[in-house]
Amino acid sequence: MGISNSKTIACEQIQCDPDISLNTLPRHNLSLNEERIEPFNLIWLDEYSQDNSLDSLRTQTLFRGMNNDNCLFFDRSDQFLFEIEKLTMEHRKLLVVMSGSFAKEVLPKIHNNISTIVIFCRNYNKYTSLMDKHLNVVEICTEHEKLKSCIQNELLSLKFNLFTNQKFKTIRPLNSSNDIENSGAYFSYILFIELLKQMPQTKQAKNIMLKKCEDYHRRNKAQMKSIELFRNTYTSNKAIDWYTRDSFVYRLVNSAFRTEDVTLWYIFRYYVVDLCIQLENVHKEQNIQNPLTLYRGQAQMPTYELEYLKSNIGCLVSINGFFSSSIDIDIAKNFIAGAVDTDDYKVVIFQITVDGIRLQNTVFVDINRYLNEPTDEQEVLFNIGSVFKIESVKYDSDLGLSIIKMKASDDGTYEIKKRIQLKKRDFRKDNINLMFGRLLIDMNEYSKAESYFQMMLQVLPKSHIDLALVYDHIGDLNMRITNWKEAFTNFNLAYEIKKKILPLNHLIIAITLNNIGNYYKAIGNYVQALEYYTQALQCKNDRFNMARTQLNIGAIYAINNDYENAFSLCIEARDILQQIHPCPYDEIIHCQGIIGDIHLTQQEYNIAADYYLTAFEMSKKFLLTSNRLRVNCIKSLAKLYNKRNAKQLAIDFCRNKLSFYEKYLPENHIIIGHLSMILGEFYEEIDDRKINSLQRALHIFEKNVHLEYATTANCLITIAEYYQKQNVYERALKYYIRAIEIRKKIYPKDHSILLETQSLIDLVTSQT
């Protein structure tokens, strides 16, 4: 049992047999090439593709976000054609986006060498004739959102990592030096599965899943037959049967879980839920008590995963997705026959011990016993979320591979189970579909959340009440990425739908009123913000929304220097929040920060420090490492130290936290950008570290400009001011112009900040 690197392609065997049935599809010949999705290139041909304009940066970021930086940008047709010829000879999968003008020039030259081409232009009607003439032109897009949606749809036929920019992951660490991050992520992982189980198994869910499978396999006749067989014959009591055969189900479900893209899990929920439940039921029936030793061969384990296991002996890991193993080590060896170590991948055999009598939460099934007949693989299948303890990792020179010894374990799962039970209370009173997307937002998975809610807009009927709630969530997402103008549009769409069907004092209307208040607060219109918050407070609120609205009003009072009323409201809101179960830690941490701000403004530094430190300690205990609130806590403490004339302490504190995040987050993670920017603001003008830190922050923000519009603009302004003070006016002007381009996207026309930025541009222009 394992992941084979055999060159035998099972689907070729299937094509020879016209009478496909479920029982004729053994999985043991599954090749690595079928399970691992082939890499591909996303290519943009446009005369402006190399520019640093906001639109070009947005397009580049969109591409990179969907394809792990495997993107190529060309502004000349000769370079493009040369590269296309080379990539075609390498049998690379290609998706090309080109401008209308280049399309007219190059389409006759490339013929059908590229299967998927999208034209991205300003005038749709001007190029429709090209779609009729060239079958590989699949769409003409005039807006970024339409382009993104189109690419996502087409990607499914090229690879199965639709929306994420993560690597394929076999394992997830659970306890190491980065314990909070990983245990929290594991909790979210299992919570998503529990959410899926609460969703109804509808015909629509089945059709959505099969449509995606058909999109992916649309050029594979054998797999299309298998999909049709599933459509006509599948029943929930045959979920295990389908997984243990070589079918589209096994491969695509595995790929979906190894990308950790929960949007794909949602698409596959119709089948995944059945498989989880059937595994649980069969596990109880089999009640295996005798100890087992199981094996799994893997021809290509990423080197970084193996190194992690070596350095974390005694720690826990979970396996992403369902986990197959075999009682027979020779079967595991067959899956890695002929494989050799490379720099990037290593050959391994897992040796897993299972003591069923000691396990309560680990679900596994003996497939031979389930089928009541012997199978070639002698398979034992573990359910999603199974946990293992790493006992040893040793290289066997005789076999030429590493042997990873693990033990199935319930450690760490009991606390998770308790938290899941608390969350299940919310399942009964909240909209399950919306909770799925909400959880994505809470995990800071903004791109995935956007894709999920855009999908919801497509599948919900136009008259459905949930449409308003979806617009609320998209607006909230826009607020988090500081795209305030878009947030206001979505909040108003939600408000208009709700007003037509609900009483004006309804709780759900209060949520939107509060959201609109947040928009006005973000753009500095505190009078309007207070008006909407007050309207929200007059509605029939539950305790959580009452506290949140009071907290927002308290923040406005603090801005207006009404500290007494601000403090009173915030304390009252905090007391309410502390009585809610499960505890809304993020809101309480936010509340502590606002109270700290109130005392900081009044120069009550010791009291402010108490609140900031409490918030910071809570954030470390209850929030994921990547949560933005943790960075806000760091910013607050650093600014407090600076206010107390301890700038070096502020710098040392930020550098210490930056070192921590550099260790555990990707180098271009947005949080590293935030901390680099704070450091840049603290360094003196004559210190080269100032501009170096700011430029590093800007590089990260521009790679994530779709996640941090306002912060990117602020960073550009700070760099422009630096160069202006250095009398480097032309460079300063360039940064000011880039900043105003972004600000025009997110602020309403004639907003004061646009006027101020334009004044800076005018001043520097006069100095050049």
600 or 111: which leads in pLDDT: 600
Quick check: bond before 582 cis, omega within 30?
yes
Residue in 688, 701, 693, 616 with CA at minimum distance from that of residue 658: 693
Q: What is the pTM of this model?
A: 0.67
**How many residues does this entry show for the chain?**
768
Band the pLDDT of 70: cuts 50, 70, 90. confident
Euclidean distance between CA atoms 531 and 553, whole angstroms = 10
Band the pLDDT of 1: cuts 50, 70, 90. low
Asked if pLDDT for residue 340 goes beyond 80, the answer is yes
Q: How far is CA 637 from CA 337, 585, 587, 657, in A?
A: 56, 19, 18, 12
Burial class (CB in 10 A: 0-12, 13-18, 19+), 492: middle
Asked if pLDDT for residue 118 goes beyond 70, the answer is yes
DSSP H/E element including 344:
none
Per-residue model confidence (pLDDT) at position 425: 58
Tokens of 152: 């996502």
Per-residue model confidence (pLDDT) at position 30: 27
Band the pLDDT of 15: cuts 50, 70, 90. very low
DSSP H/E element including 362:
none
Chain centroid, CA 158 distance in Å: 20
Handedness of CA 238, 241, 247, 250 (dihedral sign): positive
State mean pLDDT over 714-719: 97
Band the pLDDT of 3: cuts 50, 70, 90. very low
260 or 702: which leads in pLDDT: 702
Per-residue model confidence (pLDDT) at position 420: 61
344 or 567: which leads in pLDDT: 567
Band the pLDDT of 521: cuts 50, 70, 90. very high
Band the pLDDT of 26: cuts 50, 70, 90. very low
Residue in 412, 414, 395, 415 with CA at minimum distance from that of residue 404: 395
> 179: which residues sit within 8 A by CB, 6+ positions away?
none
Question: Token pair 């900040």 is at which residue?
Answer: 753
Band the pLDDT of 175: cuts 50, 70, 90. low
Euclidean distance between CA atoms 370 and 372, whole angstroms = 5
Residue in 7, 499, 447 with CA at minimum distance from that of residue 260: 447
Tokens of 639: 């600014």
Euclidean distance between CA atoms 482 and 493, whole angstroms = 18
Q: Beta strand pairing status for 401-409 and 71-74?
A: unpaired
- Asked if residue 364 lies in contact with residue 380, where contact means CB atoms within 8 angstroms, the answer is yes
Cα angle 705, 711, 715 (rounded to 5 degrees) comes to 100
Cα angle 638, 642, 644 (rounded to 5 degrees) comes to 120
Per-residue model confidence (pLDDT) at position 157: 47
22 or 691: which leads in pLDDT: 691
Tokens of 467: 């449409």
Euclidean distance between CA atoms 627 and 184, whole angstroms = 11
- Asked if residue 152 lies in contact with residue 145, where contact means CB atoms within 8 angstroms, the answer is no
243 or 455: which leads in pLDDT: 243
- Asked if residue 243 lies in contact with residue 224, where contact means CB atoms within 8 angstroms, the answer is no
DSSP for residue 404: E
Tokens of 296: 């799994």
Per-residue pLDDT tens digits for 236-295 = 999 999 998 878 888 788 777 776 666 678 888 899 999 999 999 999 999 999 999 999
Band the pLDDT of 400: cuts 50, 70, 90. very high
Per-residue model confidence (pLDDT) at position 414: 65
482 or 175: which leads in pLDDT: 482
- Neighbour tally for 13: CB within 10 Å: 15
User: What is the amino acid identity at position 308?
Assistant: Y
State mean pLDDT over 54-59: 82
Share of residues in the chain with pLDDT > 70 (%): 85
Per-residue model confidence (pLDDT) at position 418: 66
Of the listed ranges 200-209, 385-394, 684-693, 736-745, the least confidently predicted one is 200-209
- Asked if residue 409 lies in contact with residue 388, where contact means CB atoms within 8 angstroms, the answer is yes
- Neighbour tally for 294: CB within 10 Å: 25
Asked if pLDDT for residue 201 goes beyond 90, the answer is no
DSSP for residue 39: P
Asked if pLDDT for residue 613 goes beyond 70, the answer is yes
Helix (H), strand (E), coil (C) string for 502-521 = CCCCCHHHHHHHHHHHHHHH
Per-residue model confidence (pLDDT) at position 363: 93
Tokens of 540: 């029939």
Asked if pLDDT for residue 192 goes beyond 90, the answer is no
Per-residue model confidence (pLDDT) at position 422: 60
Band the pLDDT of 71: cuts 50, 70, 90. confident
What is the C-alpha radius of gyration for the chain, rounded to an integer number of angstroms?
A: 28
Residue in 202, 248, 174 with CA at minimum distance from that of residue 409: 174
DSSP H/E element including 302:
strand 292-302
Axis crossing angle, helix 507-522 with helix 543-559, rounded to the nearest 10: 20
Tokens of 67: 């394809």
Q: How far is CA 473 from CA 313, 478, 480, 490, 563, in A?
A: 42, 9, 11, 9, 32
Euclidean distance between CA atoms 726 and 739, whole angstroms = 19
* Structural domains in the chain, sorted by start: 40-155 (3.40.50.2300), 165-421 (3.90.176.10), 566-645 (1.25.40)
Compute the mean pLDDT over every residue in the chain, rounded to the nearest whole number.
Answer: 84
Query: Can you spell out the DSSP letters for 519-584?
Result: HHHHTT-HHHHHHHHHHHHTS---HHHHHHHHHHHHHHHHHTT-HHHHHHHHHHHHHHHHTSSS--
Of the listed ranges 235-249, 597-611, 714-728, the least confidently predicted one is 235-249
- Asked if residue 96 lies in contact with residue 114, where contact means CB atoms within 8 angstroms, the answer is yes
DSSP for residue 336: T
State mean pLDDT over 645-657: 96
Cα angle 540, 543, 544 (rounded to 5 degrees) comes to 110
Band the pLDDT of 184: cuts 50, 70, 90. low
Residue in 707, 501, 763 with CA at minimum distance from that of residue 61: 707
Per-residue pLDDT tens digits for 128-143 = 888 777 767 878 998 8
Euclidean distance between CA atoms 417 and 472, whole angstroms = 30
Of the listed ranges 177-186, 477-486, 542-551, the least confidently predicted one is 177-186
